[in-house]
Structure 1
Amino acid sequence: MTGSELYEIIEATGISLVFLILVFLPMEKVFPAKRNQKFFRPRWILDFCFFLGQYLLWSGLVLWVLNYFGEYLTSIVPKSFQSIIKSQPFIIQVFEVLFLSDFLIYWGHRLQHSVDFLWRFHKVHHSAEHLDWLAAHREHPLDSIYTIGLINLPAFIMGFPLESIAGIIAFRGIWAIYIHSNVRLPIGPLRVLIGAPELHHWHHDLDRRAGNYANISPIMDVIFGTYKCPDTEPEKFGIKEESPNTYLGQIIEPILPVKTWKKIKRRPEKQ
């Protein structure tokens, strides 16, 4: 990587940080889900490390994996099938991509909560005890590859190159940050179609950790009986399992054999 490329990455990270603060901080102040939550709340530095890790380290890896498998999938899918898809009106293609990707990520997300191997990586995301725009970035890079890969799988199969779905990828990224934000902006019955932060907040509930697996539209949760949305906010977020309190710990722990991590946990932490 050249110096100019590194500068561009750092510049893009800084611009993204300022943009997200300008967009979400006012929303969290005007429409707070938890009114007493401060900007610099506990574990803010940890989540900021995840933010920097995503933008400075892992985003390139995720995009490389997406591009590699995207090219592979588009090469093995029959061109005749892709031609039929592309001959449809553009709006139909968009609907198909969004519907199929929501279907895949719904079941992929349910598997993350039911398959121990997948949960080992996904629990990093659920270990956040405070939700806001920054907490959305607490995600293990391998978990990111799994999630983003599933979301974009239909587009790749239909023959869309990565560049053509960049807008959809960006939109889903912003949406993910929105539903994790400390915002409660009730939209009434429309939340069954569009979704809202309060739905995903209950997905992060410490006591239940179930339901509301869908990505953009909750329709999949409604269809498969996992739609949950009480009128109140959860009292606590997080997981009941022990989890590292450091960035490196949360990145390394899921990769280690379970017995190895249990031995590390027994060692007293330095104060």
Structure 2
Amino acid sequence: MIELFLATVASAAVLAAIYGPLERMFPARPEQAVLRRELAIDATFFLGQYLVFSAVAVTVLTWMDYALAGLWPMSLRTWSMGLPLWAQIVLALVLGDLLTYWFHRACHSWGPLWRFHAVHHSSEELDWLAAHREHPVDGALTQLCVNLPGIALGLPFAALGGLAMFRGLWAILIHANVQLPLGPLGLVLGAPELHHWHHARVDRTRHNFANLAPYLDLLFGTYHRPRGPETYPLGLTEPWPRRYLAQLVRPFRRG
């Protein structure tokens, strides 16, 4: 347990060293303080995610790899495993992105899923640490969508882990308090300002559901690129508890 805690602290230090300078050099909201009002609760979500829920997620995904091996047609795995590794990775990325996009849209349109996803949208200030504010149920279902194609295609576990790390680092970046000029690359990898707008304080935002590839939003008519400085408020229009445990319990309560 001590080793896991130290690894979590080390992870926080590395992430702060990566994203902290970016937030200072390219701030989307220059007026936002580093020691912001919601820092403590997001730090608690970070600890909960890395100390508890990530270990559970790895266990579940490992079990899924064995369980799904007998459910998927062997011809599918045989075909995909005959491809070069890079092609398997691209295919897993594209299919995982597509599945996650539609799950994300469902989270905003179907009440039972929204109750869990609303925890993530309760952040009123975004930075790299706020990316970790996520209910474990919402996080588990998202990871299922992200990883299911790779598991079904028989992607090596090391490649699955590498993809998960890449997606995780990008997910942190799009929540960070940064505004980066990505140029044409922005059509392949979503710029942070696209996801910031997704967190705007409107009734269950209807735009920018793709976390990685904005071409899906362009394809399905949900793309919106905000212009000018970020001055719009973030968070929920509905009342929401501010404490960690209360946020974990809130989705299970009616009303």
**Structure 2-normalised TM-score?**
0.96
Judge conservation of contact 1:205–1:234 (CA < 8 Å) in 2. no
User: Which segment is superposed worse, 51-60 or 157-166?
Assistant: 157-166
Letter in 2 for 1:224: F
Structure 1 CA distance, aligned partners of 2:147 and 2:75? 20
- Which deviations, in whole Å up to 9, do the C-alpha atoms of 1:40-74 show, x marking residues without a partner? 11111011110111011211112222222232112
- 1:146 aligned to 2:141? yes
Equivalent residue number for residue 214 of structure 2: 218
Structure ID, larger Rg: 1
Judge conservation of contact 1:33–1:183 (CA < 8 Å) in 2. yes
Judge conservation of contact 1:201–1:234 (CA < 8 Å) in 2. no
Structure 2 CA distance, aligned partners of 1:86 and 1:38? 49
- 1:35 aligned to 2:35? no
Structure 2 CA distance, aligned partners of 1:136 and 1:225? 25
Counterparts of 1:127-206 in structure 2 under 5 Å? 127-206=122-201
Structure 2 CA distance, aligned partners of 1:120 and 1:162? 32
Q: Gapped runs of 5+ residues in structure 1?
A: 1-5, 260-271
For 1:93, which of 88, 104, 108 is the aligned residue?
88
**Structure 1-normalised TM-score?**
0.90
Number of paired residues?
253
Structure 2 CA distance, aligned partners of 1:80 and 1:194? 32
CA distance change for structure 1 residues 243 and 162 in 2, over 3 Å: closer, same or farther?
farther
Structure 2 CA distance, aligned partners of 1:210 and 1:70? 34
Judge conservation of contact 1:103–1:220 (CA < 8 Å) in 2. yes
Equivalent residue number for residue 237 of structure 1: 234
Equivalent residue number for residue 74 of structure 2: 79
- 1:19 aligned to 2:19? no
Judge conservation of contact 1:9–1:56 (CA < 8 Å) in 2. yes
Letter in 1 for 2:175: H
- 1:248 aligned to 2:245? yes
User: Where does structure 1 differ by over 4 angstroms across 4 or more consecutive aligned residues?
Assistant: none
What is the RMSD of the two structures over their aligned residues, measured on CA atoms? 1.3
Structure 1 CA distance, aligned partners of 2:167 and 2:185? 19
CA distance change for structure 1 residues 143 and 94 in 2, over 3 Å: closer, same or farther?
same
Deviation at residue 176 of structure 1 after TM alignment:
0.5
Judge conservation of contact 1:74–1:158 (CA < 8 Å) in 2. no
**% identical aligned pairs:** 43
Q: Gapped runs of 5+ residues in structure 2?
A: none
Letter in 1 for 2:24: K
